[in-house]
Amino acid sequence: MTARKDQPSPGAAAPPWMSRRHFLQIGTLGVGALTLPQLLKAEASAGIRSSQKSVILIYLVGGPPHQDMFDLKPHAPKEIAGPWRPIATKVPGIQICQALPRLARIMDKLVVVRSLVGNQSDHDAIQVFNGHHPRKPTPSGGWPQFGSTVAKLQGPVNRATPPFISLCYTCSHGPYNEPGPGFLGPSFAPFRPMGPSREDMVLKGISVKRLADRKTLLKSFDGLRREVDASDTSRGMDFFNEQAFELLTSSRLAEALDLSREDRRIVERYGTGDPTIFMDGNGAPRVPQSLLMARRLIEAGARVVTLNYSKWDWHGGSYGTIFSREAEDFPPFDQCVSALVEDLHQRGLDKDCTVVILGEFGRTPKISTQVGRDHWPQVNFALLAGGGMRTGQVIGATDRIAGEAVARPVTHGELHATLYRNLGIDVERTTLPDLNGRPQYLVEDHAQALRELL
């Protein structure tokens, strides 16, 4: 299946330089002559809208230590093994770090990939989000990130919810941030209700900062609806006009972003963090409630939600040893990730929503007194859940010091092919044209989905 390249014509598809955020700002909303419907119409003609499968992609900023979390080596020398000890999980034969007891109890709902290879070596989020090694040849315009590709191919599930939403906070270290939509253009950039892109949510003076004021929100939406209803130009709106208006005036998205509407016990189960405190100054905030918001956005109709969580580059800091920082970070991570996975199962979303968690590389086997564990691109881990996959298993293995993959090396192409497969997208047949019109496959090296998960 190849997505055709839409040829813009007057009154039809929106120009490629127009992003969705332009349409969402009230200054560009002319009710009688909406341009957003043209964008929606172009998306629908290019995509597949029958599936309601979804993906939550969680980026652990800075590269977490695989051998201290999911691939412990207790029999290695002390300068490699570190102080943590493995504990048994719900699945016989699988052990993980003692600081992750909640995840151990739901191991039957998880998949640990211990042999992710081909990682880039720099602090850069690009490979996490698009599955392509940044030093390999890049098509004209650059690779689009995963969510942008899905938005292009499948469009929105619900016309009141964008198909691709990013909850990522903007990090001061530029490479930690999500890559753009690449050759797909700004129209397929994520909708970003967090961080400096909060202006995306502006509508008649209502911003994301005021979403908690439910009465004000509804009053403003109702007022805008009355204005349109009273206008002669609102009569005869076609489907795409109505879809654009719904996106701008529906409370569906606002409700999903408003955690005050969530059961307090569920919020407490995930835990909360301060979104204004950026870990180590340039990482992402440690905000467990972002995982809960991601689940709510999936329920509201988003196909892909991305988020960044905390800062995992623990070396050279003033906080003490790497292990003191691990003791601080592991428990809230254990709590919020287990809460998300259990929440998806309890709500019957585990067959349809895939969760994937990873950083940009692994960590050195040997522990240094100065830097703790340094960058290690030779092997990395990924944690998966949901998506109707065969869970309760470990894929791959490393050597006795967790330095190299010695069994079933997994590539980023295979990992992303699995995500596409879970959404119903055939990576063997689907291509997208780059800026030169050349068809580009979605994943590297014609990779296929992980057979172990089918």
Instruction: Give a yes or no: residue 69 inside a domain.
Output: yes
- In this predicted structure, what is the pLDDT of residue 233? 43
- In this predicted structure, what is the pLDDT of residue 197? 43
Question: Which residue positions in the chain have pLDDT lower than 70?
Answer: 1-51, 195-250, 316-320
For the chain, the residue count is 454
Total count of domains within the chain: 1
- In this predicted structure, what is the pLDDT of residue 9? 39
Give pLDDT tens digits for 195-231.
544 444 444 444 444 544 545 555 555 555 555 555 5
Where are any strands of DSSP class E within 171-326? 304-309
User: Do 330 and 97 meet the contact criterion of CB atoms below 8 Å apart?
Assistant: yes
Domain that holds residue 184: 53-198+260-453
- At 85, phi and psi to the nearest 5? -120, 150
**211: its two tokens:** 């979403």
User: Do 335 and 105 meet the contact criterion of CB atoms below 8 Å apart?
Assistant: no
Instruction: Give a yes or no: residue 115 inside a domain.
Output: yes
Q: What pTM was estimated for this model as a whole?
A: 0.82
- In this predicted structure, what is the pLDDT of residue 49? 43
Instruction: Give a yes or no: residue 408 inside a domain.
Output: yes
Per-residue burial over 194-224, b = 16 or more CB atoms within 10 Å of its CB, e = otherwise? bbebeebbebeebebeebeeeeebeebbeeb
Give pLDDT tens digits for 439-452.
999 999 999 999 99
Instruction: Give a yes or no: residue 255 inside a domain.
Output: no
> What is the rounded radius of gyration, in angstroms, for the C-alpha atoms of the chain?
22
Cα 338 to Cα 352: distance, rounded to the nearest angstrom? 17
Cα 86 to Cα 98: distance, rounded to the nearest angstrom? 5
Instruction: Give a yes or no: residue 243 inside a domain.
Output: no
Instruction: Give a yes or no: residue 347 inside a domain.
Output: yes
Instruction: Give a yes or no: residue 126 inside a domain.
Output: yes
Per-residue burial over 288-307, b = 16 or more CB atoms within 10 Å of its CB, e = otherwise? bbbbbbbbbbbbbbbbbbbb
Instruction: Give a yes or no: residue 164 inside a domain.
Output: yes
Angle at 274 between CA 272 and CA 275, to 5 degrees: 110
CATH number at residue 441: 3.40.720.10
Cα 163 to Cα 22: distance, rounded to the nearest angstrom? 16
- In this predicted structure, what is the pLDDT of residue 322? 86
